[in-house]
């Protein structure tokens, strides 16, 4: 639904794949880790305006790719954004598995390439050097793309090697499923500029986001790319009918987290020590609320998954996301907990409002108010 050369807006939710409840405060008691529980979140997101959802990656969780496959079978248009790690997969194995799922789902697979450290030694990844990990990621992305688009691939790199390899079936989506990628370090941005289709960013203030987008556009312009690099935002949103209600809910949520990190906060260490997480934690000193309604206080919670939140009424949060759209961000991964209930709330209050504005249609709620006013 974008205009001109702009890509259409994409809104994704989040499906947790931890095996126990408590992920980022979601203490839903029944069904956690089951297919029915995850499928209900996916189906709810699908029914309330979202295109799909991110499924995270971490050792000790339900396998991301298996869950993505199951959710594709339980939905009709839902797009799983499956987070995968080069240290966990071999490129040829992944390329064929992903092409198969893309074929079976008629082109719905999205892929998020993750470089950040996990409990990586538990599954046999003993590469601890950041520079080496990013070099490996770049080689992984290059080879996977070749296997999706070329026949009889022979490749001998620093990390991977294949001889006379052809990936069958071919992906349904042409030329291939899009590759999402995150990372704020210099090494990460070099990989994104050259190899990613979508660069994901955490919820930084507009000025910081604009600076990164400008730099990445300049970096990518010097690379041999088929299409321009797109940009995405990963952020928590706490939205209610009124601003006061939203801030009360956000305060209660954060208060429930602090002092109870053993239960209420994600135990996965993904992102711990990363440049992106450090940038978010440094925002706490810049002010508690930045731009329209970007709340920095959650970033002080030392979980290895620091974040900022957009907090406000439906119009305030939608206006904040429009500010990011104006910078050139077109892909959004939103979330709040409990995941099931908030998928419906955020979808109806925020996503449908933004999609209606993008298409030129008046949101249903605004139309009703206009009718009553008349």
Which residues have CB under 8 Å from 209's CB, separation 6+?
Answer: 201, 233, 324, 327, 329
Residue-level pLDDT at 374: 32
Q: Is 303 domain-assigned?
A: no
Whole-number pLDDT of residue 203? 93
Q: Is a pLDDT exceeding 90 seen at residue 194?
A: yes
From CA 105, how far away is CA 346, in angstroms rounded? Answer: 26
pLDDT band at residue 3 under the 50/70/90 scheme? very low
Give the model's pLDDT for residue 369.
42
pLDDT at 22 > cutoff 80: no
First and final C-alpha spacing in the chain: 30
- pLDDT tens column, 321-343: 999 999 999 999 999 999 999 99
| Angle, CA 78 vertex, CA 73 and CA 80 arms, to 5° | 85
251 occurs within a structural domain: no
Enumerate residues 6+ apart whose C-beta is below 8 A from 80: 15, 42, 52, 53, 55, 67, 68, 69, 71, 72, 108, 109, 110
pLDDT score, position 358:
83
114, 57 contact by CB (below 8 A): yes
Q: Which residue has the higher pLDDT, 32 or 220?
A: 220
Domain that holds residue 102: 10-233+324-369
Helices in the chain by DSSP H: which ranges? 35-47, 64-74, 91-104, 130-149, 186-195, 206-221, 243-257, 261-264, 275-282, 314-327, 339-346, 352-359, 364-373
Q: What is the pLDDT of residues 346-372, one digit of tens each?
A: 999 999 999 998 887 655 444 444 333
Written as one string, the DSSP assignment of 278-294 is HHHHHGGGG-SEETTTE
- Count how many domains the chain has: 1
Task: Extract the tokens encoding 276.
Answer: 């992106």
**Any idea what the CATH number is for the domain that residue 183 is in?**
3.20.20.30
The answer as to whether 129 is a domain residue is yes
pLDDT number for residue 94: 98
Point out the least confidently predicted range of 18-22, 40-44, 269-273.
Answer: 269-273
* pLDDT computed for residue 287 by the predictor: 85
Give yes or no for a contact between 165 and 153, defined as CB atoms under 8 angstroms apart. yes
In this predicted structure, what is the pLDDT of residue 307?
83
Mean pLDDT of 74-83: 98
Question: At 278, is the pLDDT very low, low, confident or very high (cuts 50, 70, 90)?
Answer: confident
Query: Domain for residue 244, yes or no?
Result: no
296 within 8 A of 306, measured Cβ to Cβ: no
Q: What is the pLDDT, as a whole number, of residue 23?
A: 80
Percentage above 70 pLDDT, the chain = 89
Q: Is residue 282 part of a domain?
A: no
Q: Does residue 266 lie in a domain region?
A: no
Q: Which one has a higher pLDDT value, 140 or 266?
A: 140
DSSP 243-286: HHHHHHHHHHHHHHHTT-HHHHS----TTTT-HHHHHHHHGGGG
**% pLDDT > 90, the chain:** 71
Residue 280 located in a structural domain: no
Q: What is the pLDDT of residue 346?
A: 98
Q: What is the DSSP letter of 170?
A: P
pLDDT at residue 357 in the model:
87
DSSP per-residue letters across 138-156: HHHHHHHHHHHH-SSEEEE
Mean pLDDT lowest for which of 42-46, 96-100, 254-258?
A: 254-258
Question: Residue 127 falls within a domain, yes or no?
Answer: yes
């Amino acid at each position: 639904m974008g205009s001109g050369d702009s890509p259409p807006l994409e809104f994704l939710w989040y499906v947790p794949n931890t095996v126990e409840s408590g992920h980022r405060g979601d203490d839903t008691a029944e069904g956690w880790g089951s297919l029915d529980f995850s499928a209900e979140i996916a189906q709810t997101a699908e029914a309330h305006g979202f295109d799909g959802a991110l499924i995270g990656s971490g050792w000790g969780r339900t396998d991301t790719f298996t869950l993505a496959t199951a959710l594709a079978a339980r939905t009709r248009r839902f797009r799983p954004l499956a987070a995968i790690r080069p240290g966990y997969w071999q490129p040829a194995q992944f390329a064929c598995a992903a092409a198969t799922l893309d074929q079976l789902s008629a082109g719905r697979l999205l892929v998020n390439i993750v470089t950040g450290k996990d409990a990586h030694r538990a599954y046999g990844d003993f590469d601890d050097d950041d520079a080496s990990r990013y070099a490996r990621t770049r080689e992984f992305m290059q080879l996977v793309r070749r296997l999706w688009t070329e026949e009889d691939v022979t490749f001998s790199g620093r990390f991977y090697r294949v001889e006379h390899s052809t990936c069958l079936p071919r992906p349904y989506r042409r030329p291939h499923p899009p590759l999402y990628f995150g990372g704020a370090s210099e090494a990460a941005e070099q990989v994104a500029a050259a190899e990613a289709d979508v660069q994901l960013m955490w919820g930084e203030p507009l000025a910081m986001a604009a600076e990164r987008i400008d730099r990445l556009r300049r970096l990518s312009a010097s690379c041999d790319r088929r299409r321009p690099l797109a940009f995405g935002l990963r952020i928590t949103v706490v939205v209610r009918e009124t601003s006061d209600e939203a801030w009360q809910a956000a305060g209660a949520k954060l208060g429930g987290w602090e002092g109870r990190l053993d239960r209420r906060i994600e135990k996965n260490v993904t992102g711990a020590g990363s440049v992106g997480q450090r940038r978010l934690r440094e925002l706490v000193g810049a002010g508690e609320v930045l731009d329209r309604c970007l709340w920095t206080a959650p970033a002080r919670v030392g979980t290895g998954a620091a974040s900022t939140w957009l907090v406000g009424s439906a119009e305030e949060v939608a206006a904040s996301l429009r500010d990011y759209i104006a910078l050139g961000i077109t892909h959004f991964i939103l979330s709040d907990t409990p995941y099931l209930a908030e998928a419906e709330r955020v979808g109806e209050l925020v996503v449908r409002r933004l999609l209606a504005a993008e298409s030129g249609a008046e949101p249903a709620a605004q139309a009703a108010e206009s009718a009553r006013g008349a």
